[in-house]
Chains A and B, each alone.
Chain A
Amino acid sequence: MPVRISTEANTMTAFLSGEIDHHSAAAIRDAIDTQIQINRPKLLKLDFSEVTFMDSSGVGLIMGRYKNALTFGGRTEVANMPAFAEKVMRLSGLEKIIRFYKEK
């Protein structure tokens, strides 16, 4: 599974890994949404540190989780976006509505 999810207090963290494209995004989306529904986190953290490839499907994936978490009153943050994916992120303009940061 290209995503591992852990929940602590009001924070749910999804550790994404491997290649994110239209094909792999479907399973990642379903796994995260199932847990959002169950946990209704105040904060959803999407951790991209183990991601090795990402195209525009990653933008849709983040946007969709942001919206879904918001319906349960939670906000979304994106951690450790790898350098190679920053170009796609800049094009998306997602940084205007979601906080991006590095932990390491």
Chain B
Amino acid sequence: MQVINEMKLVIDALSVNEGYCRVAVATFVSQLDPTIEELNDVKTSVSEAVTNCIVHAYPKKRGKIYITARLYADGLSRVTIKDRGIGIEDVKKAREPLFTTAGGERSGLGFSVMESFSDKLTVRSKPGWGTSVTIEKRIAGKGK
């Protein structure tokens, strides 16, 4: 399928950037004329992935978040959120609902939210290499 538009964003993994990242991606995806609900789905899943980079990926050093968003001619949006942080030992386990390695007030729902708010979620990760999360969401749009 043909890519009709692409954007890339590299930004510091700081919590103050969470709002900027989800709004930037949502604004870009808006070109596909999504419904309010579809747009909120994209915003929420991007927010989860970006927050994971900030909370989990870089416990010791300052790092960056690499975002690529692609829009396809058939109405598909594909957003990849990547870090070069510590990575995930067991991705299958990490994706289970309520699984969390963080204490405090993390609920372990991030991946469940991404999964249920998108059409397809792909997680690639390797300890020491980082984590790459791809969120695919088909935008039916207001017209349909």
The residues of A with any CB-CB pair to B shorter than 8 Å are 19, 21-26, 29, 53-57, 59-61, 63-64, 84, 87-88, 91-92
Report the interface size class on chain B.
20 to 34
B116-A56 in contact (CB<8A): no
B90-144 residues with Cβ-Cβ distance < 8 A to A are: 97, 104-107, 109-110, 112-113, 116-117
The minimal Cβ–Cβ distance linking B83 to chain A, given in whole angstroms, is 15
Query: For the complex, is B80 an interface residue (Cβ under 8 Å from A)?
Result: no
A91 and B112 contact, Cβ closer than 8 Å, known pairs A22-B15, A23-B16? yes
Number of A-B contacts (CB under 8 A): 63
Minimum Cβ distance to chain A for residue B29 (Å) = 15
The smallest C-beta distance from B36 to any residue of chain A, in angstroms, reads 8
User: What residues of chain B have their CB less than 8 Å away from a CB belonging to chain A?
Assistant: 15-16, 18-19, 22, 36-37, 40, 43-44, 47-48, 51, 54-55, 97, 104-107, 109-110, 112-113, 116-117
